[in-house]
Structure 1
Amino acid sequence: MDIRRIILDNLKNRSKDDIKGFIQEAVDTKEENAIPGLGIIFEAAWEKMNDGEKNNMMDYIMRGIR
């Protein structure tokens, strides 16, 4: 079973608002079972970012963990 493919296929036809809602709910509820899905969403986005976008994301990440 390829968890990445399952999650991405499940999200493929969702709207931007649907995916934002999934992310917000996962953050709000802090449900640990949502962590793999968030990681896969992040991985998919990261792979499509250019270096400037990755640097901006790293600024957001560093701000969030400090």
Structure 2
Amino acid sequence: MGFNLRGAIMANIQGNSEDEVEATIVDAIQNGEEKMLPGLGVLFEVYWKEANEQQKTEICDIISQGLQG
């Protein structure tokens, strides 16, 4: 029997306010714990599905710039 990690994360954060989402992101980044990465991935997936083409282009540009180091 498989565990649906994406579904579990979505169930855990469903209905969170903007402040709660921000706190989750900031906490995950500040703590730097590997176990938080799947949650950030799910949040990014939610963003991507809701973003328009301009927002997608902008976020890809920002990430690309950040990877230049």
**TM-score higher than 0.5:** yes
Trace 1:22-33 onto structure 2 (pairs within 5 A).
22-33=24-35
Trace 1:3-18 onto structure 2 (pairs within 5 A).
3-18=5-20
Q: Which residue of 2 aligns with 1:39?
A: 41
For this pair of structures, how many residues does the alignment match?
Answer: 66
Whole-Å separation in 1 of the counterparts to 2:11 and 2:47: 15
Deviations 1:8-54 (A, max 9, x none): 12111211111111110111111000000000110111112121110
Whole-Å separation in 2 of the counterparts to 1:63 and 1:17: 26
For residue 63 of structure 1, report the CA deviation from its aligned partner: 1.9
Q: Which residue of 2 aligns with 1:63?
A: 65
SS, match of residue 25 in structure 1: helix
* RMSD, aligned CA: 1.0
- For the pair shown, the structure with the greater C-alpha radius of gyration is 2
